[in-house]
Every structure is written in structure tokens, then in C-alpha cells.
Chain A
Amino acid sequence: MASDQKVLELNDLNVHYFTPRGAVIAVNHVNLYVKKGEIVGLVGESGCGKTTVAMSTLQMVSAPGRIVGGEIKIEGQNIVNLPEKELRKLRWSKLALIPQGAMNSLNPVTKIKEQMADGITAHEKISGAALRDKVLKLLNDVGLPERVYNMFPHELSGGMKQRVCIAMAVALNPAVIIADEPTSALDVIVQRVVAQTLLDVKNRLGVSMIMIGHDMGLLAQMVDRVAVMYAGNLVEVGPVGSIFEHPYHPYTQLLIDAIPSTKQKKPLKVTEGLTHDLRNPPPGCCFQFRCPFVRDACRQKPPEFKQMEPDHFVACVQYN
């Protein structure tokens, strides 16, 4: 399983969106790494910057967003400010993306075989029977029957299309796959099948993954480590077991408490408060407006990361 080799490192990443009314601090001093063969789950509510982290890792933040600081290392190589031509080579071959709603990004008028072949031949010199075999093997890898090779996207169900997208992501044997909400908008049974496929692919190919999601339950099933984001800041990172057993940050606790269960009825835990304007963050902790345990110290300076358990870090004033 996971070795200690870090295939992807984000060091002090800062991404801002420059709007007419000031810069939106979408990603604020984020440090994160992914080891070989592990899945890191990046979780947080909508607008917390998790998709921006993914897109900036691929250097694909859309304007008016820009990486304003930090480095992104893939297998030790910093790729921030790499020329576009170099980046294009890296994307997909080293860093693959399964975008949000990927299944809807398939071209409706070309067959699956052509879409997959196009992508592969753009990066690899391969053709004819070898190409065909490769595509078929990829389809087989994600548990799709050979027939899919000759089908059009509209002939496939949502879950199958999503699996085609997974097959395309692993086609060039990337070091890291970034999957942005890979199972959202799927029915729960199909979601489970797609999740299984992702896990299966990871185990057999030893690929690393960042999985972005908002469903803590699904992350519990799939990932090795969890990174919790709030309002552009990383607030807690740790092994999945440790996070679920001892969530230290109040926000992580809130997220875990908010998972509805079918096993036991529990009283609904209601929290008040709103996220601050990302253009104008308050001094101190980013969670202060919603934190049930807020105190004066929280409003002074941002909390520092502290190791609570092996590999389990939290940024909260309580533990500083």
C-alpha cells in the first residue's frame, strides 16, 4: 500500500481570485502531500476552496484566479510557472483529472473508443491493434464490458460514463489522479459501484489520488487520509481512522456529527453562523464566526498546526 514517497506536494499554496471588489482568498497557505498509493480525501463545504486546490494543482485555475504563492511539486519537480507547453505534457501523463460532472463532459457524437484513443495518442505513439488492446484493457480495468468500446455516450448509464472517465484518467499511468466529487449526482447504488471501481483501480495500479468530496460517509469508506478545509484554510489533516475516532477541530467534529445515519436516530445538531467574506478574512482563526468554542485568543492570530497523534495535525487555538 502507501509508501513514504511523496508523489505530490503542495507547499504553502495561495490562490486568489481577483474580482472588481477585491481579492477573494480562495486558498490560503495550504500545505498538503500525497504519498504513493494513497488516497487523500479533501473535504469541506461548497465554496471552501477544495475545487480551487484541485484546479491549481493542475495549473488550470480559471481567470480571474491566480496562484499567488507557494509551490506544487510532482515527484519532486516544482511545476508552478512552468511554461504551458511543458504543463500540457505533464497533465494527464503525470497528473490526471476526473472533473466534477465528468460523465457529462464526454463528447456525445463520438464513440467511446475514439474519445479514449484520441487522448492516448496525443501523449503516446501508439496505434492500430496495440491502441485497440490498450483501450479494451482500460475498459476491462474499470469493469466495463468490451461492447462499450463501440458505443456512444448516450447509450451508457451515468455510472458507466463515470467509469469511462476513470478509465481515461488512468490511461497514461499518471502518478496522481485528482477526482473532483467523482460520485456526486449518481444514485446511491451506482455511487457505490463507481467508488468500488476507483478503489480497485487504485489498488491494482498503485496510483495516488486526491479525492474531493463533501460526503464524510463516502470518504470514510474510500480514503486513507482526510484533509479538512474551511474557507480556504486547511484546518485538520490526519489518517482517516484517527480523524473519525478523534476529530480535534470543531469544524471536523461538526462535519462528522452532521452525517445522517441509518443505523441510529440521533438529535439533529444545529449550528448557527456564517462564513466570513473571503475577500476580507478576520484576524485569527478562520472558523471563529461559527465555532461553538470560540474565545478571545481565536480572534488574535491564526492557530498553528499541532501534531496530536501520529500524522494527525490540527490548527486550533485550543491545542496551541
Chain B
Amino acid sequence: MEQPIISIQEATKVYGGGFLASSKPFVALDRFSLDIFESQSKIVTIAGESGSGKTTLANMVLGFTLPTSGKILYKGQDVATMTREQRRTYRKEVQAIFQDPYEVYNPFYRVAHIFNMVVRHFNLTRNKQEAQQLIEDALNVVGLRGDEILEKYPHQLSGGQRQRIMVARAYMLRPRLIVADEPVSAVDASLRAMILDIMLKLRDQHKISFLYITHDLSTAYQISDKMYVLFQGTTVERGNASKIIEKPQHPYVQELIDSIPVPDPKLKWDTNITLPSEEVMRMKSSVGCRFYPRCAKHMDVCTKSFPEYVKVEDDHEVACYLYK
């Protein structure tokens, strides 16, 4: 069987709560598992609201934080215990684009710096001409030209340009996986399509997989193949993205999808939803279903242990006791 490029195995991240710690431990991510294979390039969405653990997951896959338990394997090698040489190939093959396309630029340098850094530290080319060509090619993929932007400072570019440059930078390394952490939430609506379109192009033409981390289910629906919906660190529903959005099974996912404003003035919200009190909202159970306090359909069994994943249809699983 093919070895996955990234294999996340029961990854759990707990903050605080150590020896002598004053605060109670907080489980940011609970036993998350996912394999991404090189041979089948896919856009995998990790969807969740704030506090769902999606950014923790992104940071773990990129090696910025280590899991408290469980493993992140890059081609079978644990990310936590890599040699310098292994880390280099891992960095080359697993790249990232981030939410704020301004923050990722050092205001001190021109745009070219971001490319030169990559060329130099991965020894991508033998000479300057080759490097120039490589940068130019990468920029062309995202629809930019080097002479337009390389000598500029980041604040002289538009948000869309800045984000496209980051995609070009990642693409230059020919990675197998790009972790895209909210890549379009700080970009204007009219430019959002452009970034998403580039992601699709990289997937289809260059066989690059994406881990698309987002709170926005509608863009996920438009571009992604697989989807994991997180709630307070746990995966509540997973499988084919279209199936989840079209037929959400978990009460939380249903509420989430129902709350997305419909862009049609004729279909206004007819019901009012109410949220439980802030104490309930903050209640964090560490066993059982995390959505229990807010769930309209909760049952006693929900607090006992975390529900098993139930297959509701092909490639669509839900963790909820309503389904058996």
C-alpha cells in the first residue's frame, strides 16, 4: 500500500494542566486522524469555528507545535524526531499559505526577498538566471509578472496580489501538500475566486494536495473533495465535502449550515435561533459529545463517551448517537 505523504494519527493537543499548573487542561484537538496520499491530489477541508482546533492542527502539520499524544508522520517519519536533512525535504514538500497576506511579509524587504530566501535555502538553482526563471515561472502560474512586483514593498501591493505571491512562493518548491490556513478570509470577495481558482489549478494540473483550513463552509463546498468538521477539538462529521454540506447529519453541522446567510432577499431567515447561556457555551466536557450542552436533541447517553463514527452513506461519517 502507498505510504501517505502526511499521516496524522490520533493527534491530540492539550494546553496547560501540567504539573503545578494552575489552570485546568484544555484539549485543543482530540484524537484527530487523517491520511493524505501523494497519488491522489485532493483538497481536504478542515472546517470549524473559533476554538475548534483547526489552527492547532495546521500548526502541528507544519511542525510549529508538537502533538501532546499521537503522531504526525511525514512519509512514515515522525515530524517530532527528524534529522536536519529529513526536515529539509519535509519543508520542501509540505508548504503553507496563511490567512493574513500582509503579516507574512517582513516590512523591511522587497517582495523579491521572499523568493530569494526559498531559492537560497533549498539550493533550488545553480545560478542567478535559473533562479530568475524559476521565480518568473512560479509567478506566471498565479497570473503575475516579476517585473511588476518583485522590486516593490509589500504595502505597495493589493491584498489579492500579496496572497497570490504567497501561493507562487509555495508552488516554487513543487510541494506535495500545501496547508492553506484561512487563505481567503482576509481577501475581498471579488478576489476570493481568484485564489480559490489557483488552488484548483494547482490541484488539477500540478497534483498538489491542500489542507484547506477554514470557517467558511461555502467556499469549502465550492472547491474541496473531503471535509472534516471540527467542534471544540473533536471531529463531528467527516467524509465527502458535497455530501456533508448537502445532507448534514450532526445537529451542530446542521445548525452551522443553516446559519450561513442566504444571498437572496426573498429567502429571509424565518426562524430565530437562540444560544444557551454563556456558562453553557463555556462548559467544556472532556468526555462525551462536546456539543451536548447546546444540542436540542441531546440524550443521556451523549455524556457517557464520545460517540463512535457511524457511516450514514458511502464516504460520509458522523459522530452522533442519533444515528446507529
Does a CB–CB distance below 8 Å link A and B in the complex?
yes
Instruction: Check A259/B273 contact, CB under 8 A, given A157-B281, A187-B50.
Output: no
B180-214, CB < 8 A from A: 188-194, 196-197, 200
Q: How large is the interface on B (under 10, 10 to 19, 20 to 34, 35 or more residues)?
A: 35 or more
Does any Cβ of B come within 8 Å of A53's Cβ? no
Nearest CB on A from B218, distance (A): 4
Per the CB 8 Å criterion, the residue count for chain A at the interface is 47
Q: Which of B50, B159, B223, B263 contacts A244 (CB 8 A)?
A: B263
Given A189-B273, A262-B217, verify A215-B261 contact (CB < 8 Å): yes
Judged by a CB distance under 8 angstroms, whether A46 is at the interface is yes
Contact between A241 and B266, CB atoms less than 8 A apart: yes
Q: How far is the CB of B219 from chain A (nearest CB, A)?
A: 5
Which residue on B lies nearest to A215, using beta carbons?
Answer: B261
Q: Specify which chain A residues have a CB less than 8 angstroms from the CB of B259 in the assembled complex.
A: 188-189, 191-192
Q: CA–CA, A261 to B223, complex, Å?
A: 11
Residue of B nearest to A143 (CB): B274
A230 and chain B: residue at smallest CB distance: B190
B222 touches A255 (CB 8 A): no
A-contact bits for B106-120, CB 8 A (1 contact / 0 none)? 000000000000000
Residue A266 is within 8 A (CB to CB) of chain B in the complex: yes
Q: Check A258 for interface membership: any CB of B closer than 8 A.
A: yes
Contacts of A215 in B (CB 8 A): 189, 261
B158 pairs with A275, CB closer than 8 A: yes
| In the bound complex, CA of A256 to CA of B269 (Å) | 19
Q: Does A268 contact B (CB under 8 A)?
A: yes
Which residues of B sit under 8 angstroms from A196, Cβ to Cβ? 269, 272-273
Interface residues of A in 168-192 (CB under 8 A from B): 187-192
In the complex the two chains form, what is the Cα distance from A152 to B278 in whole Å? 13
Is B159 within 8 A of A46, CB to CB? yes
Whether B275 and A193, one on each chain, are in contact in the complex, defined by CB atoms closer than 8 angstroms, is yes
Q: Mark out the residues of chain B between 141 and 187 whose CB falls within 8 Å of any chain A CB in the assembled complex.
A: 143, 158-159, 161
Does B265 touch A at the CB level, under 8 Å? yes
- Answer yes or no: A218 CB below 8 A from chain B CBs: yes
* Max chain A Cβ within 10 angstroms of own Cβ: one of B159, B196, B263, B275: B263
CB distance B278 to A259 under 8 Å?
A: no
Q: Which residues of A contact B192 (CB under 8 A)?
A: 258, 260
Q: In the bound complex, do residue B275 and residue A220 qualify as a contact, i.e. CB atoms below 8 Å apart?
A: no
Within the assembled complex, what's the spacing in Å between the Cα atoms of A128 and B143? 65
Q: Across the interface, which residues of A come within 8 angstroms of B215, CB to CB?
A: 187-188
Q: Are B261 and A220 in contact (CB under 8 A)?
A: yes
In the complex, what distance in Å separates the CA atom of A274 from the CA atom of B161?
9
Alpha-carbon separation in the docked complex, A275 to B257 (Å): 34
Beta-carbon contacts under 8 Å, B88-119 to A: none
Q: Find out whether the CB atom of A217 lies under 8 angstroms from the CB atom of B265.
A: no
Give the complex CA separation of A155 and B221 in angstroms: 35
CB-nearest residue of chain A relative to B246? A262
* Complex: A43 Cα to B2 Cα, angstroms: 49
Interface of chain B: mostly helix, strand, loop or mixed: helix
How far, in whole Å, are A47 and B253 apart by their CA atoms in the complex? 34
Cβ of A156 < 8 Å from any Cβ of B?
A: yes
Given contacts A189-B256, A220-B263, A244-B265, is CB(A270)–CB(B273) below 8 Å?
A: no
| Contacting residue for A217 out of B49, B221, B262, B282, CB 8 A | B262
Closest chain-B Cβ to A287's Cβ sits at a distance in Å of: 11
Q: In the complex, what residues of A have CB within 8 A of residue B273's CB?
A: 189, 192-193, 196
Task: Give every chain A residue within 8 A of B10 (Cβ-Cβ).
Answer: none
CB B273 to nearest CB in A, in angstroms, measures: 6
How far is A188 from B275 in the complex, measured between Cα atoms in Å?
12
CB contacts (< 8 Å) of A251 on chain B: these are 190
In the assembled complex, B313 has its CB within 8 A of some CB on chain A: no
Q: A270: which B residues are within 8 A, CB to CB?
A: 193-194, 197
Q: How far is the CA of A255 from the CA of B190 in the complex (A)?
A: 6
Contact A221 B268 (CB under 8 A): yes
- The interface residues of chain A lying within 8 Å CB-to-CB of B219 are 260
Residues of B within 8 A of A191 (CB): 259, 261
Check B197–A190 contact: CB distance below 8 A.
no
Report the bound CA distance from A282 to B245 in whole Å: 44
Checking B161, B194, B221, B260 against A271 with a beta-carbon cut-off of 8 angstroms, the contacting residue is B194
Assess whether B189 is in contact with A240, with CB atoms less than 8 Å apart. no
Q: Does A259 contact B263, Cβ atoms closer than 8 Å? A: yes
Interchain residue pairs A-B with the least CB separation, the first 9: A260-B218, A45-B188, A187-B49, A217-B263, A217-B261, A268-B193, A192-B259, A259-B263, A258-B189
Given contacts A216-B189, A220-B261, A272-B143, 9 further A-B contacts (CB under 8 A): A187-B49, A191-B261, A221-B265, A221-B268, A265-B221, A265-B222, A271-B191, A274-B161, A275-B158
Residues of A bordering B, CB below 8 Å: 45-46, 143, 145, 155-157, 159-160, 187-193, 195-196, 214-218, 220-221, 240-241, 244, 251, 254-256, 258-263, 265-266, 268-272, 274-275
